[in-house]
Amino acid sequence: MKRLPRRFQEHSNFFEYAVNSLFTYKTRTIAIVVSLTIAIMILGSTIFVSDGLLREAQLSVETAPDITVQNMEAGRVVPMPNAYAEYLGRFLDVRRIVPRVWGYVYLQDSIYTLMGIDPSTTPIAEELGLTLESGRFFSGNERNVAVIGSQVGDALNIKLNDQVKITEVHAVYSFTVIGVFDSDVSLFTSDLILIDIETSRDFLDMPPDTVSDLCIYLDDETKIPSTASMISQVYPDLRVITRESMKDAFASTYGLRSGYVSVLWYVLLISVILVAWNQASSASVESQREVGILKALGFSTSNILEIRFLETLLLGFISASIGIFLAIFYDLYLGAPIIRNFMLGWSAIYPNFPVPILISFGSLLTLYAAAIIPLLVGTLIPAWKSAITEPDVVMRGS
Partner 1 sequence: MKTPKVSRLKIIIFAMTLLFTISLVHAAYSELSWQYGPKYGRTFVGALGYLGLSIPSECLSSRNPLLEPICLPDIPGGYCYHESCGKVGATYLGKNYTIEVVPP
Q: How far apart are CA 268 and CA 316, in angstroms?
A: 13
**CB count in 10 Å sphere of residue 185:** 18
Query: Which residues from 226-285 bind partner 1, rule CB under 8 A?
Result: 241, 246, 249-250, 252-254, 258-259
Q: How far apart are CA 152 and CA 150, in angstroms?
A: 5
Q: How far apart are CA 260 and CA 244, in angstroms?
A: 24
Does 379 interact with partner 1 (rule: CB under 8 A)? Answer: no
| Burial class of residue 127 (count of CB atoms within 10 Å of its CB; 0-12, 13-18, 19+) | exposed
Does 71 interact with partner 1 (rule: CB under 8 A)? Answer: no
Q: How far apart are CA 300 and CA 304, in angstroms?
A: 6
Nearer to partner 1, 351 or 382 (CB): 351
Does 109 interact with partner 1 (rule: CB under 8 A)? Answer: yes
With CB under 8 A as the contact rule, the residue among 318, 354, 385, 391 that binds partner 1 is 318
| Burial class of residue 40 (count of CB atoms within 10 Å of its CB; 0-12, 13-18, 19+) | buried
Query: Which residues from 325-344 bind partner 1, rule CB under 8 A?
Result: 325, 328, 332, 343-344
With CB under 8 A as the contact rule, the residue among 31, 38, 125, 273 that binds partner 1 is 125
Does 206 interact with partner 1 (rule: CB under 8 A)? Answer: no
Residue 20 Cβ vs partner 1, minimum distance, rounded to whole Å: 7
Residue 65 Cβ vs partner 1, minimum distance, rounded to whole Å: 5
Does 70 interact with partner 1 (rule: CB under 8 A)? Answer: yes
Nearer to partner 1, 67 or 272 (CB): 67
Q: Which helix (H) or strand (E) holds 187?
A: helix 186-189
Query: Which residues from 126-155 bind partner 1, rule CB under 8 A?
Result: 127-128, 130-131, 149, 151
The b/e string for 216-230 (b: 16+ C-beta within 10 A; e otherwise) is: bebeeeebbeebbee
Instruction: Report the Cα–Cα distance between both ends of the chain, in Å, rounded.
Output: 47
Size of the site for partner 1 (CB under 8 A): 104
Stretch that binds partner 1, among 30-38, 82-90, 103-111, 267-275 (CB under 8 A): 103-111
Residue 359 Cβ vs partner 1, minimum distance, rounded to whole Å: 4
Nearer to partner 1, 108 or 222 (CB): 108
Residue 390 Cβ vs partner 1, minimum distance, rounded to whole Å: 30
Q: Which helix (H) or strand (E) holds 90?
A: helix 83-91
